[in-house]
Structure 1
Amino acid sequence: MKKDTKMDRQMLDIRNYILSNHLIEKGDEVLVGLSGGPDSVFLLYALNRFKEYLGYKLYAVHVHHGIRGEEADRDMHFSEELCRSWEIPFKKVFVDAPGLAKEKGMSLEEAARILRYEVFEETRKEIEDRFEAEEQGCEKRGRCLIAVAHHMEDQAETVLHNLVRGSGIRGLSGMEPRRGFIIRPLLSVRREYILSKLKEKGISYVIDSTNLDTQYTRNHIRSEILPGLREINPEASAHIAHTADILREADGFFVRLASEYVDKYAELKDPDMIGKTGMEISIPVTELKSYPELVRQYVMIELIKRIGTPLKDWGAVHFRDMDRLIYGPGNAHLDLPYRMSADYRKKHLVLKINQEIISIKRRKSNDGACKSTDS
């Protein structure tokens, strides 16, 4: 890529966003998920511009999902040629999204997403392991991060998607600038700027035709709902994204509050058993019931995290069920995801990881009919 030293205000803002959110540090390595579309091409362009100033190494990986035939081949070849011309190390990986979708009974879109992020993580580890081997004996070892090209409109789409699905504060806070090794340097950038900058610089890109298919919920939001909202207010996407930032701060506050409450009141049966069968955590609920339902939910989420259970398959219905449990007469039982159970006894909520699901029917047959001993 031709040397380009002059930056406009928005490019400087993107660089400052990376710095203020501590997304990349000197000595890191950054792997860009490159589809060949305008967003990921712009991300690669921007990070290539910043790498000398911020002091990191840049790589790119392209995932061919085994769908879209010749169009997907075109995207792969385009991405490879772009990285060759910009002298950025490039890797291409083939996966079978249709095969996974059929095997797991999931949508093709979800299967492609799962496989794509698996490739990102595997490639990230390869780069990091190689980097550590080369740098042994150095005082500071860098990390390898995965950069993805979600921008402001993607953030607005995510919030609206979660809103119509009935999400709570966490879902409405949208995507984080950084989550684990995944960074999103473009969350504050409008897509309009991305397209105008690529045009200004004469940088080509490809278009994935499936992004135009409105049978996918997110595409419907992108192509019909958001444009309608921008007719009401041109700043709709920016306002939604800003609200997500506020809700993310609120989520962080409630997470800290719940953590402090659990630290103070919860009792872990055996810390060495975290995540294993037989692990148990309990907490008194008399004071907990005086808090709003939202706070109780955050405390329950913290209890689940402390016991070592993933949060992926938990929904609002599970927390409502646990809430009803602690307002019940006592000596009650509830089956939960990941072989977990909740019991309300002696004014304590007790969460446990079981060998297998304990149904209420079988529990009654084994232990006899439940009688209330709590008030």
Structure 2
Amino acid sequence: MLERVKKYIRENHMLKTGDLVAAGVSGGADSIAMLHILKQLQTEFGFLLEAVHVHHGIRGEEADRDEKLVRDICREWEIPFRSYHYPVPELSKKWKLGEEETGRLVRKEAFFRERERLGFPEQSSDGEPQFLVALAHNRNDLAETMLHHLARGTGIRGLAGIRPCSGKIIRPVLCLERREIVNYLKEREISYITDSTNLSDEYTRNRIRHHVLPVMEKEINSGAVEHMAETARVLAEAEEYLCKKGCELLEHCTQKKGYLLVESFFREAHIIQEYAVLEAFGRLAGKRKDFTALHVEQVLSLREKTTGRYIQLPRELRAVRVYEGVRLERTDNESVRRIDETAPETLAELLWEIPVPGTLECPFGIFEAKIFPYKNQKIEEKKCTKWFDYDKIKTGPCVRTRRQGDFLVVNREGGRKKLNRIFIDEKIPAELRDQIPVIAVGEEILWIPGGRMNEQYKIASTTGRVLELHYQGGVLT
């Protein structure tokens, strides 16, 4: 195992002499084994090593026990130890995020603070020692991530799963399976703990771990995890190549304030066009977060539209059909909120996906989405703020205008009513109906902002997570 990890580190150029490796150690089998392996390889590779533990303030005495175990092991193995404490339940309520997402953010913050404490710059020059974060993901984690992404819908990037290196993050035991790691610790009589939350089926990843992967390995192929890891490696190489080709195509489209996709752009293979647009999103917005395959297709579809048509995108980006082609650019808030004179015709074919959690600014106004656990709080009854049972919503909510087939569930028995019938009953003038924004999942309407909401998604005693939608501006205020 040591030789395999050694080879994996070299093949992926993970670290060099003089680097400081901050190993994230929870006390579980994966992280304890990674720490022990790194300690064995430290002299040969010539890097500095320390352990960083994050106490989430969630599991009481159990969390204190985890911290003590990691501290004692580090003392025994003569590894510098640093612990950071965060009140995750309190922060979760304050930030209106789930505890799992909040935990991820505080772990990121802990490593940021540790890098600053040690005086390492955020960016280091080539050849200079750098601050690296080692995480203990293994092949099973990779397989679980692939399956999770596949079930939710994804592209090559998502199927490639967890990478050996991501910026300053390295994953030295990603080449090992979980059973190998557990055997490694047992053979050496090294103690570790099992987080009780890992035994629960409350989280999707745990359900995949406990039920889906074991069936695949037992009844389909015992080497399923190994084969999925190899597939992920091939897909990662394909992703890297397509990104490179997309960047090359985009270089021919650069303008002062954005990118102009001219006719020659659309003669390239469609998948290269997609990667070029994704790269443009990342460069203009600073990150690709909040951008989906739907946004890419909306931009590319503008080629077939008439001059003047436009699509408002997340993070204040906009794509416009101009005479020369499709222009992709940043925009200001005023133009984001403005509805053009041609809006009824233009907006009828467009939609905007609401980032959850996050904020969408589009021609209809501002839509803010938050998620938090339901603990019998008083339900918001404001005209422009509504609460929904988030666990019942299977696809991302979008803002758009009415379409044929749209409906709402109007009572607890599941009775449906066509959206057009609701507009008629509420005496909304016919000339305004194509200008009214609705929040939809497919053909089902969640909410007419300022008006009626879908009964099927109302908060109930069984609700686990709440989706709060708040609306500012638009036709119905």
For normalisation by structure 2, the TM-score amounts to 0.68
CA distance in structure 2 between the partners assigned to 1:213 and 1:46 by the alignment: 29
User: What amino acid sits opposite 1:245 in the alignment?
Assistant: R
Of residues 189, 203, 211 in structure 2, which corresponds to 1:224?
A: 211
Report matched runs for 1:91-240 at 5 Å: 91-129=82-120, 141-231=128-218, 232-240=220-228
User: 1:300 — aligned with what?
Assistant: 277
- SS of 2:310's equivalent in the other structure is strand
Count of aligned positions = 342
CA distance in structure 2 between the partners assigned to 1:352 and 1:289 by the alignment: 18
Report matched runs for 1:333-372 at 5 Å: 333-356=310-333, 358-359=335-336, 362-365=338-341
- SS of 1:150's equivalent in the other structure is coil
User: 1:289 — aligned with what?
Assistant: 266
| Contact 2:19–2:132, Cα closer than 8 Å, also in 1 | yes
- Residue 202 of structure 1, CA deviation: 0.6
For normalisation by structure 1, the TM-score amounts to 0.86
User: 2:394 — aligned with what?
Assistant: none
Supply the RMSD in Å over aligned alpha carbons: 2.2
Which structure's residues are more often strand, by fraction?
A: 2
- SS of 1:149's equivalent in the other structure is coil
- Residue 293 of structure 1, CA deviation: 3.3
| Contact 2:262–2:326, Cα closer than 8 Å, also in 1 | yes
- Residue 329 of structure 1, CA deviation: 2.4
Q: Deviations over 1:186-217 (max 9, x none)?
A: 11111111000100001000110001111101
CA distance in structure 1 between the partners assigned to 2:11 and 2:116 by the alignment: 26
User: What amino acid sits opposite 2:249 in the alignment?
Assistant: Y
CA distance in structure 2 between the partners assigned to 1:329 and 1:99 by the alignment: 51
| Contact 1:125–1:144, Cα closer than 8 Å, also in 2 | no
The worse-fitting range, judged by mean Cα deviation, of 113-122 and 191-200 is 113-122
Q: What 5-or-longer segments of structure 1 have no aligned partner?
A: 1-9, 131-138, 270-279, 371-375
User: 1:78 — aligned with what?
Assistant: 69
Identity of aligned residues (%): 36
CA distance in structure 2 between the partners assigned to 1:339 and 1:22 by the alignment: 37
Q: Higher relative contact order by CA 8 Å / sep ≥ 6: 1 or 2?
A: 1
| Contact 2:249–2:265, Cα closer than 8 Å, also in 1 | no
- SS of 1:175's equivalent in the other structure is coil
User: What amino acid sits opposite 2:325 in the alignment?
Assistant: H
Q: Over alpha carbons, which structure has the higher Rg?
A: 2
| Contact 1:322–1:342, Cα closer than 8 Å, also in 2 | yes
Q: What 5-or-longer segments of structure 2 have no aligned partner?
A: 347-477
Which structure's residues are more often helix, by fraction?
A: 1
Q: Deviations over 1:71-117 (max 9, x none)?
A: 11110111111111111000111012212322232221111011112
